[in-house]
Structure 1
Amino acid sequence: MTLISKQVPVIRSDAEALNVARELAAYFKRESVVRDRERRLPHDELELFSHTGLWGITVPKAYGGAGVSNVTLAQVVALIAAADASLGQIPQNHFYALEVLRVNGSETQKSRLYAEVLAGQRFGNALAELGTKTAHERTTHLVAAETGYRINGRKFYATGALYAHRIPTSVVDDQGVHLLAFVRRDNEGLNVIDDWSGFGQRTTGSGSVVFDNVFVAREDVIPFQSAFERPTPVGPLAQILHAAIDTGIARAAFEDSLHFVRTKTRPWIDATTDIASEDPLTLKSFGHLSVRLHAAEALLERAGEYLDTAQANPTAKTVAEASIAVAEVRALSTEISLAAGSTLFELAGSQATLAEHGLDRHWRNARVHTLHDPVRWKYHAVGNYYLNGENPPLRGTI
């Protein structure tokens, strides 16, 4: 694939976005095993990724972007995640920040920050914190100073920050209001630490970001909390991206299982066949996996359609419907990604565990990424919605 040009192309349509993603995914897949095994951070790959124009596909048409559907966005993320699960996850909070900007930013902020993205800039994240009472509590503090603000605090699980030009950071002001600060990566006092040691998603760079009296301009801070005090699609947008990542991981594990059984696996002695792909119990297992994988892919598309409706007309009803549709695919994509990564070894056999194949990365990636938020609460939300008519909470789980 042709490497980086100085001019970042602007993708103009959903079809173009999918074509570019398919070509890029094929390129990323070639070295995915090596990147995982050696924890080779994908700096060059991300330069290529953002210089294809794919990081700008959600910029609305009114601001010069393609404004692709959420169906397309989810498919693009799933395609990249199937090739390399870490590369699929790194832009997740970039797209999330762009949605917060769309919902809560001023016209001036949108014009300026969207233009940066269309020019190839990458946004990371500094949202979550360790050591707080709950996963949603934030202590990183923002205070007024000079012509803007100063930020002090420490973040973790900062996926994408290591590779970002700006780091959207959740902060709390003196009144306890949550804001989102689009902090420049090179600002003095900002330290991104590569201390992510998860056994999966090894190259996401999801480690720490430390803010030591870091300056942020007033015009780079937008409201955050208010996105969850009224019906907006911000929450389900974040969640559909997670579902797309898991669905991509499941697809990769399934495809690698098929290839290995066809080319390397020996049938079990009781199968009464010399060809592993004709083993009747193997066929049953592949059938079971394929049905659930195709169901997850269909639910992902359906959730994208509901989310498109909620974006076009955000009401309590449309946002709740989108949130439930996304919760349904989150539940199934969690389960099939784990099942595909584990069943791979049952079907492929002992050879599949050899390190040179790198097939363990699928289960490791799925296990780490699906811990983002518990699937049991997805089922709770879905059941409560259908049985009791209770809308899910307006919460920004990212």
Structure 2
Amino acid sequence: MATPVVPVISQAPSATDPAVYAEYESKWATYPTDAQGWLERAREVAAVLSVDAAAREKANKSPKAEVALLKHSGLLKVLGPKKYGGGEQPWSVGYEVIREVAKGDGSIGMLLGYHLLWSRTAHVVGNDEQAERFQKLIIENNYYVGGAVNPRDNDLKITYDDSNITYNGFKNFTTGAAVSDLIVLEGAIHDRPEEHIFAIVPTAQAGIQFHYNWDNVGLRLTESGSAKIEGISAPWTDALGWDVATKKPDPAVLGIPFPALLLPTIQLVFSNFYLGIALGALDFAKKYTTTSTRAWPYGGDNKEKATDEFYILSTYGNFFAHLRAAEALANQAGAEADRIYGTYQNNRAAFPIEERGEWAELVASVKVVTTDVGLRVTAGVFEVTGSRATASKVGLDRFWRDIRTHTLHDPVAYKNRELGRYVLLGEHPEPTWYT
């Protein structure tokens, strides 16, 4: 198939200025030491971002400053080992940190979530040496990691010789990659298309050509546009989970169920920034209602304040109840991530596919619930804020646009069907790029 024709911008668009957040490099020079400290740091980041989130989103500039803010905060390192300068927190804390940042700015919560997944990819699909080496590289240098792994596109094609693998091709979506230090590439070997290889390479290479064409309705600061990959090589030692001598997948790494954890792990990333965006919308709307919304004077049961209106109180209460339930479910799935990784990370061969299936169905449940409640809350808040809240300067619409954009990533209807087969037939989903 011919390479898709896409609009190409010859140079990078204007970017947000990292200098605007320079003060936080020294303010946050000391990193938190426990889970609550990391969550508080995430809340501080969200507070900084929320001040001008609507204006930055409208400007649609490349988020270099926002990535710098994440670096200053230490949040890029929250999952990394302490011996390299990381927070050494479990995935459950990482998921909550994503959620907290997304409350202030959905785009930056998404960028953080993708980074945390890609920065830990070698721990899931790589061997022990690769996992250790890349973690040292990423955490010690405070690198931001993006990816070019959209499975809906034709795979990047991999050619190889005795020393290197080389990627060529095109990807429609490369979230965060254009503002990254490292990029995760995934492709199929040209003469063995059923065999795929992940590798992590430096982003600043002439053969990685970003098109800077992300101009969608939501998540506008995620640099999720397309890229062309031409002649990008990595040594066989960087082919995650592959045997250097045989040039084949290492059966001790990729021949077991453990690497199939990568997909539930990222699906739970998605659900947590959906949840954070929805919680952010409710909080934003609450502040607007309590300061700006006027009571309706023609209802026959007139109130002096909007906060005394029955339907407003009822709606907020209902939204709050559903979001609280969604948080509980997301936390349950996060706790199970901790159990699985804590039990099997150092004993991967013992990981049973049945446990992967059970966790995948729990994650699918979170995806369904956060999609449904997220869309309902981010659209419904307008009913309790009033017509003036639709003004562009208010920026309340960004929450719905952000959730609407990413919930189309993979149709939630298939998650409902997957859960239906689990309930009715006791079937676990077959591991795929989306389940």
TM-score, scaled to structure 2:
0.84
Q: What's 2:15 paired with? A: none
Given that 2:98 and 2:269 are in contact with CA atoms closer than 8 Å, whether structure 1 keeps it comes out as: yes
Given that 1:138 and 1:172 are in contact with CA atoms closer than 8 Å, whether structure 2 keeps it comes out as: no
Q: Which amino acid aligns with 2:70?
A: F
2:165 counterpart (136, 149, 167):
149
Secondary structure of residue in 2 paired with 1:391: coil
Q: Which amino acid aligns with 2:312?
A: T
Secondary structure of residue in 1 paired with 2:230: strand
Alignment of 1:260-299 (within 5 A): 260-268=288-296, 269-270=298-299, 271-299=301-329
Aligned-residue offset at 1:5: 5.3
Secondary structure of residue in 2 paired with 1:355: coil
Partners in 2 of 1:175 and 1:8 — Cα distance?
48
Given that 1:151 and 1:212 are in contact with CA atoms closer than 8 Å, whether structure 2 keeps it comes out as: yes
Say if 2:274 is the partner of 1:246: yes
Partners in 2 of 1:295 and 1:321 — Cα distance?
20
Secondary structure of residue in 1 paired with 2:158: strand
1:206 counterpart (207, 216, 224):
224
Q: Which amino acid aligns with 1:254?
A: L
- Tell me the C-alpha RMSD between the 2 structures: 2.3
Q: Which amino acid aligns with 1:354?
A: A
Aligned-residue offset at 1:147: 3.4
Which shows bigger deviation, 9-18 or 119-128?
9-18
Cα deviation per residue 1:339-391 (whole Å; 9 max; x = unaligned)?
11111111111100111111110110110011111222222222222321111
Q: What's 1:188 paired with? A: 206
Say if 2:149 is the partner of 1:127: yes
Q: What's 1:344 paired with? A: 381
Q: Which amino acid aligns with 1:296?
A: A
Partners in 2 of 1:366 and 1:31 — Cα distance?
19
Say if 2:179 is the partner of 1:163: yes
Q: What's 1:393 paired with? A: 430
Given that 1:8 and 1:120 are in contact with CA atoms closer than 8 Å, whether structure 2 keeps it comes out as: no
Say if 2:188 is the partner of 1:172: yes
Q: What's 1:48 paired with? A: 69
Which shows bigger deviation, 37-46 or 98-107?
98-107
Q: What's 1:78 paired with? A: 99
Q: What's 1:132 paired with? A: none
Say if 2:39 is the partner of 1:39: no
TM-score, scaled to structure 1:
0.92
Q: Which amino acid aligns with 1:214?
A: I
Given that 2:155 and 2:186 are in contact with CA atoms closer than 8 Å, whether structure 1 keeps it comes out as: no
2:372 counterpart (312, 335, 338):
335
Q: What's 1:99 paired with? A: 120
Q: Which amino acid aligns with 2:97?
A: V
Given that 1:94 and 1:123 are in contact with CA atoms closer than 8 Å, whether structure 2 keeps it comes out as: yes
Partners in 2 of 1:228 and 1:147 — Cα distance?
23
Partners in 1 of 2:295 and 2:409 — Cα distance?
37
Structure 1 vs Structure 2: percent identity of aligned residues? 27
Alignment of 1:18-37 (within 5 A): 18-37=39-58
Q: Which amino acid aligns with 1:39?
A: N
Cα deviation per residue 1:123-168 (whole Å; 9 max; x = unaligned)?
1000116xxxxx2x64311111473222110012210101111110
- Structure 2: tracts of 5 or more residues without a match: 1-20, 243-248, 345-350
Partners in 2 of 1:255 and 1:170 — Cα distance?
39
Q: What's 1:230 paired with? A: 257
Given that 1:141 and 1:151 are in contact with CA atoms closer than 8 Å, whether structure 2 keeps it comes out as: yes
Q: What's 1:360 paired with? A: 397
Q: Which amino acid aligns with 1:69?
A: P
Secondary structure of residue in 2 paired with 1:67: coil
Cα distance change on mapping 1:326 and 1:369 into 2, 3 Å: same
Given that 2:94 and 2:116 are in contact with CA atoms closer than 8 Å, whether structure 1 keeps it comes out as: no
Q: Which amino acid aligns with 2:294?
A: R
Alignment of 1:370-385 (within 5 A): 370-385=407-422
Aligned-residue offset at 1:11: 5.3
Q: Which amino acid aligns with 1:307?
A: A
Partners in 2 of 1:9 and 1:185 — Cα distance?
28
Which shows bigger deviation, 210-219 or 363-372?
210-219
- Give the ranges of 4+ consecutive aligned residues of structure 1 lying more than 3 Å apart after TM superposition: 5-13, 60-67, 223-229
Partners in 2 of 1:7 and 1:68 — Cα distance?
18
Aligned-residue offset at 1:259: 1.3
Partners in 2 of 1:162 and 1:253 — Cα distance?
28
Partners in 2 of 1:48 and 1:244 — Cα distance?
20
Given that 2:24 and 2:73 are in contact with CA atoms closer than 8 Å, whether structure 1 keeps it comes out as: no
Aligned-residue offset at 1:9: 5.9
Question: How many residue pairs end up in the alignment?
Answer: 392
Aligned-residue offset at 1:229: 6.1
Q: What's 2:331 paired with? A: 301
Given that 1:55 and 1:91 are in contact with CA atoms closer than 8 Å, whether structure 2 keeps it comes out as: yes
Given that 1:267 and 1:274 are in contact with CA atoms closer than 8 Å, whether structure 2 keeps it comes out as: yes
Given that 2:125 and 2:254 are in contact with CA atoms closer than 8 Å, whether structure 1 keeps it comes out as: yes
Cα deviation per residue 1:285-341 (whole Å; 9 max; x = unaligned)?
112111111111111101101222222243223222211111111111111211111
